[in-house]
Amino acid sequence: MRRLDLTEKDTSKRITIYFEGKPYEAYEGEKFPVAMLANGVYWLTTSTEGRKRGAFTFGPLPVKVDGVKNVNGRKLKIRDSMRIERQRYDEFQEQVKIDEGKPVLRYVVDVAVIGAGPAGLGVVEEIGGKLTAALIEERTWLGGDMWLKGVEQEGFGNPRKAIEKLTNFSENVRVFLKTAALGVFDKGEYFLVPAVRNDQLIEFMAKRVVLTTGAVDSIMLFENNDYPGVFRRADALEVMNVWNVAPGERVAVTGAFPEEITAELDRWGIEYVVVPNPKRVEGKDRVERLIDENGNVYEVDAVIMADGRIPDINPVTQAGGKLRFKRGYYTPILDEEHRIRDGIYAAGSAAGIKPHYANYIEGKLVGAYILREFGFEAEPCVYSERLREYEPLSRPRPRFPLDSFNAEDVHICGCDVSLKKVDDVVKSGITDLQIIKRLTHLAMGFCQGRFCLFNGALLVSQRSGLPMDRLDIPVARPPIKNVKMKVVAGRE
Ligand code: ATP
């Protein structure tokens, strides 16, 4: 077994890959970063400013494969004898390109459901058999965030078994995996949802749209938070529970919600320490120690940000929804039937952070509202009653120790934007996030602000004293996923 493998792998699938000229044991079908992690190699790419970067924190992962530059290492499925080398970000663009030569695929449905986590699965379960639906999911799996979990989930029990049950779709539900929805546009009586699968443009025409687009991991700010060996919560879950590889041998867990990760580490018997107030990560080319704000030093080889999630606001603002700041994060303003505006609904983590089961129930609730709109009998009150048991989660508001940080080493955005760069602009008196974006490139890169804009807003609020709900959060422009825009715009 490789150093960080948690289980024996199928030896008939064993292959050798070469990274920076050195051979490593790998397994067919593995993703490149996972194979390297299992071998204890964390530093995989280098930022424009020369910072060492791994695959599990944030930022792009360009690598050179068999001499070809600008390959997206994050998605790279390895083959025997593949030769992979580090590359600087340089001109790398993590962008999907639509093949303009291919005819557009078109589908007309009653309801387009964007996102196949527990909430999206709840919607199609409720409306399936009665209305036609397209379930659009950008990832390769169904079940969203819950699919990454190994421990039992309240209301559901075993997460994988629960997802299996929910994915016995009725005939009039059509599922589109690896398909990213690019936005929602008005088209007369219908909504147009353009989407892309590989290089194929697909257009969905739907009478109703549900945004069950979920939440994104909260990125914590501390010195060298972009360093190889720092893990985002979802990536740590994925390496353990999907690939059966440990994030490290001795792990530090930090953030406001450590239990979500420690329960999984306990399940695998991985040694860990909980560090509530991280100040700085250090090491040669990967995490070797974590130092907290009181000067305590923890010898660890990985740090997991267990700081929970915040709703992904981009699909909501692009579709014309408005936001409010409540319980420590931005959520869409919904009418009494969970609509962000006429015909467009939101449910699940996209609408507020709750346990998976509550998100599923909320999906069913929205499904019931839609059924009623189409003239079917439905009982939304049964679900709204059950949902009342689940008050959405409140997040503690972080206060960044701005004056004791070495802000050049703190990364607010994976695309090489340091906290110092943004803080200098804010300190000069600029509080408009739109202008801050232009001046610093915060939220202008591959994640389109999903991970970094919230910290930008917290920073502005902390420095200026402006309350979060008074800040002007930039509206997401289409396409909401990184796709060459020309084609989609041409069809507008
Ligand atoms: P929970 O948060 O409890 O897991 P949920 O269903 O509200 O429940 P997620 O599990 O995060 O939330 O599921 C949201 C799903 O939406 C994810 O699988 C994500 O890949 C998908 N998604 C987000 N944006 C898009 C998009 N633009 N196109 C297609 N799929 C998307």
Query: What is the CATH classification number for the domain harbouring 21?
Result: 3.10.20.440
Q: Please count the other Cβ atoms lying within 10 Å of the Cβ belonging to residue 462.
A: 17
Q: What is the dihedral of CA 236, 349, 221, 285, to 10 degrees?
A: 20
Position 271 in a domain: no
What is the number of the ligand 1 atom nearest to the C-alpha of 122? 6
Look at residues 62, 91, 120 and tell me which one is the last residue of a structural domain: 91
Cβ–Cβ under 8 Å, residues 308 and 216? no
Position 290 in a domain: no
Q: With a threshold of 0.75, does the pTM exceed it?
A: yes
The Cα 309–Cα 36 span in angstroms is: 27
Question: What CATH number did the domain enclosing 336 receive?
Answer: 3.50.50.60
Give the residue numbers spanning the domain of 186.
Answer: 105-215+314-387
Answer positive or negative: Cα dihedral of 353, 355, 360, 364. Answer: negative
- Same domain for 424 and 403, yes or no, is yes
Over range 302-306, report the average pLDDT. 98
Look at residues 369, 387, 405 and tell me which one is the last residue of a structural domain: 387
Structure-token match 């001795």, residue found: 250
Helix axes 233-241, 259-268, angle to 10 degrees: 20
DSSP of 345-404: EE-GGGTS---HHHHHHHHHHHHHHHHHHTT----HHHHHHHHTT-PPPP-PPP---TTT
Distance (Å) from CA 82 to ligand 1 centroid: 33
The Cα 354–Cα 311 span in angstroms is: 10
What is the number of the ligand 1 atom nearest to the C-alpha of 480? 27
- Same domain for 146 and 197, yes or no, is yes
- Same domain for 21 and 87, yes or no, is yes
Q: What is the pLDDT of residue 275?
A: 98
- Same domain for 73 and 162, yes or no, is no
Look at residues 387, 416, 446 and tell me which one is the last residue of a structural domain: 387
Q: Which residue's C-alpha comes closest to atom 12 of ligand 1?
A: 214
Length of the chain: 492
- Same domain for 334 and 206, yes or no, is yes
Q: Which residue's C-alpha comes closest to atom 6 of ligand 1?
A: 117
Q: Which residue's C-alpha comes closest to atom 1 of ligand 1?
A: 356
Position 188 in a domain: yes
Cβ–Cβ under 8 Å, residues 17 and 82? yes
If one counts the domains in the chain, the total is: 3
Over range 234-261, report the average pLDDT. 98
Tens of pLDDT, residue by residue over 388-437, are 999 899 999 889 999 889 999 999 988 889 999 999 999 999 999 999 99
- Same domain for 322 and 362, yes or no, is yes
pLDDT of 487 > 60? The answer is no
Average pLDDT of the chain, as a whole number: 94
- Same domain for 36 and 149, yes or no, is no
pLDDT of 466 > 90? The answer is yes
Position 253 in a domain: no
Structure-token match 């206060």, residue found: 399
- Same domain for 337 and 204, yes or no, is yes
- Same domain for 42 and 141, yes or no, is no
Of 241 and 479, the one with more pLDDT: 241
Tens of pLDDT, residue by residue over 7-30, are 999 999 999 999 999 999 999 999
- Report the pocket of ligand 1 as residue ranges, CB < 6 Å: 114-120, 136-139, 144-146, 180-181, 212-215, 315, 348-350, 356, 359, 480-481
CA distances to 6, 27, 154, 229, 351 from 367, rounded to whole Å, are 40, 42, 22, 41, 15
Position 237 in a domain: no
